[in-house]
A and B are shown apart, each in its own frame.
Chain A
Amino acid sequence: MSIAFNPRPRRPRFSPVACSPVLGALGAVDLAPSWFAEEDALEVRIARTARHRRAVSALLRWLTYAAAAVTAAVLLFVVGYILVRGVPALSPDLFQWEYTSENVSLLPALASTVIMALLALALAVPVGVGAAIYLVEYARRGSRFVRLVRVTAETLQGIPSIIYGLFGMLFFVTACGWGLSLLSGACTLAIMVLPVIMRTTEEALMAVPDSYREGGFGLGAGRLRTVARCVLPSAVPGILGGVILALGRCVGEVAALLFTAGTVAQIPDFAGQGIFALFDSCRTLAVHMYTLACEGLHVNEAYATSVVLLILVLLLNAAMRVVAQKMEVSKK
């Protein structure tokens, strides 16, 4: 890392004084006899440079303040606008168990969201945590396999959700023959959130000090037991953080679900069909909101739905904060 400190303070680039010494000289010549001006010009120039520097500093400072203020204003505006328009639109009609085109109830979508997210996490968490355990605890660091897994995980993380949607449609819906269904949607989501869980779990495991592992081995435990009893418990808050992040992505996802889970506004009928309800099509809350907003017939209901989505996000953020605090405590 090479940061060359220039011993001579460079003149600010955009200074009219620095940019046009000719102009400055002309001014000096115009105003006073040359011998007097020369003596004066040095002092004036030093003072000008200092003043100029202070001005640039103030400008930079106010620019950062302004940017922060704009960010805060955007946040408050987005959240505030949705809340102000949406909260009055919340009505008991929206929370009925059956969706009809009259009540536009969001409760089925909410229930489907919960089922979908839990199913996706049930698929993704064991795989993601297992993969992270392998990378951190088993594999030799820097081996070719580890590098390949890292690269693919990074690639997965960068793939936009619409591509996941396309893949889910081609693979789970068509090739596996599951149709537009809860299961197809959950599997697609699971692949989508897998890198998030892997990444956070890896970081959490790496933060566990080696002395824990040495302690486990020293007591005669094998690797599996050491990992399960000594390492994993202290990594749990970090893993939970990843799970919450993943949950947030599941709740907000539309593009990956539109062509994998479909848009049927009903809760999958687990009571009636048992396990086969997995093959029912259902819409999550975000998909529900998208269809409402696109139809344009139920704008108030769309506001209300976005309020519910926002509240879910806020709850997840609060949960995240609690987990982060736990992590701080466990570090001490």
Chain B
Amino acid sequence: MLFSLLSELSAGAAGGPGAPGAPAAGAPGGAASGTPAPVRAPKRPHALREGVARVLFATAAALSIAAVALICLFLLVNGVPAMAKIGLPEFLFGMTWRPANDLFGIFPMIVGSLYVTAGAIVVGVPGGLLTAVYLSRFARGRVGSFLRSGVELLAGIPSVVYGFFGLVVIVPFVRLLGPGTGLSVLAASLILGIMILPTIITVAQSALDAVPARYYEGALALGVDHEHAVFKVVAPAAASGIMAAIVLGLGRAIGETMAVVMVAGNMPIIPDSLLSGVRTMTANIVLEMGYAADLHREALIATGVVLFVFVLLTTMLLSVIRKRGEAR
């Protein structure tokens, strides 16, 4: 800190900041005021080269802004007219999806996405959180490191492989449970629950690991045993990180496409039981985009817009949770 302050002073003395755009340094108050300034470079003769590099790097950084802007722009430009043509209420709350008859109601798909996501949360969250607790506070030695690398492997397995596994193992299993083909809400929830496990485990575990040791030690000093200290003191202290883990899992589940398409049955109706087929918004896009044209195609893109809105909501929820966590 002292060093950076000195270099800042010397940069100021050498005649202006090394970096254009930065305020003229010199007042020590600037360096001391909260925001840690990066170490300032002294002014050098290669000003042109430095300037070009700076602009290039800034452009690279701006590209991610451009990407988000372009994605929003293209989705909206192509999706919103269809919503207008169909009529927003008819589109969002219409119960029938029959492109051949120009009926484009995606309500069953919205409900389907929500059902399947809720199912995935029910399946994946309890096991995932408990596993995170295990990895963070209970695991010792070989078993822990084996499980940790196992979770990494689970995270790396492509979604088609999960979908295929669901198709050949979970769907026949669900078929045994009752009527229907086994392509169902239950099968989709199970496979999604497995898929969001690694996300939940890694995020929750790092939140638990980040809880200061003094919390745990304080609890022990008050005479509580290990399990109670972990569940009643450490876990509540990591609450915002654990919430973030759940919301991240939710985001993954609602956006997952290929695995769901392979096991969900894909009928565009509101499912009346766990064993009936379901079509999610993602599945709707993937299934029909290959051959859709005109209004049908635009309606599919509009489905993407609705999905995008859902995803943005989870992202916002996530940033709210993170901010609260930081504020505490």
Contacts and interface: CB of A to CB of B under 8 A. Distances in A.
B232 to A, nearest CB: 9
Nearest to B49: A224
Contacts, number: 313
Interface of B: 3-4, 7, 18-19, 22, 35-42, 44, 46, 49-50, 53-54, 56-65, 67-68, 70-71, 74-75, 78, 126-131, 133-135, 138-139, 146-147, 149-154, 156-165, 167-169, 194, 197, 201, 215, 218-219, 222-228, 230-231, 233, 236-237, 251-252, 254-258, 262, 282, 285-286, 289-290, 301, 304, 307-308, 311-312, 314-315, 318-319, 328
Among B57, B63, B157, B311, chain A packs the most CB atoms within 10 A around the CB of B57
By secondary structure, the A interface counts as: helix
23 contacts: A56-B228, A60-B230, A60-B231, A64-B134, A71-B147, A74-B197, A75-B150, A131-B63, A138-B54, A152-B68, A158-B315, A159-B255, A165-B285, A167-B74, A220-B42, A222-B50, A253-B158, A254-B257, A286-B158, A289-B164, A290-B258, A313-B153, A317-B149
Given A3-B237, A71-B201, 17 more contacts: A60-B231, A61-B227, A71-B197, A78-B154, A140-B38, A154-B318, A167-B74, A170-B78, A170-B301, A222-B44, A254-B257, A259-B289, A290-B163, A306-B165, A313-B156, A317-B152, A320-B152
A83 B63 CA distance: 41
A275 interface: no
B64 A251 contact: no
Interface in A53-70: 53-54, 56-58, 60-61, 63-68, 70
A127 B66 CA distance: 12
A213 B39 contact: yes
Contacts of A167: 70-71, 74-75
A294 interface: yes
Contacts of A129: 60
B251 A254 contact: no
Nearest to A291: B160
Contacts of A214: 3-4, 7, 39
B39 A210 contact: yes
B74 A175 contact: yes
Given A140-B35, A141-B36, A156-B68, A252 B304 contact: no
Contacts of B63: 127, 131, 194
A191 B67 contact: yes
A310 interface: yes
Nearest to A127: B60
Contact of B41 (A61, A191, A194, A226): A226
A104 interface: no
A79 B19 contact: no
Contacts of A118: none
A126 B59 CA distance: 11
A70 B67 CA distance: 40
A267 interface: no
Among B18, B161, B168, B312, chain A packs the most CB atoms within 10 A around the CB of B161
A149 B64 contact: yes
B58 A138 contact: yes
Contacts of B54: 134, 138, 223
Contact of A67 (B134, B151, B318): B134
Contacts of A164: 71
A152 B67 contact: yes
Nearest to B237: A3
A95 B53 CA distance: 46
A221 B50 CA distance: 11
A67 B131 contact: yes
A92 B324 CA distance: 57
A255 interface: yes
Contacts of B4: 210, 214
A82 B58 contact: no
Contacts of B152: 317, 320
Nearest to B231: A60
B258 A71 contact: no
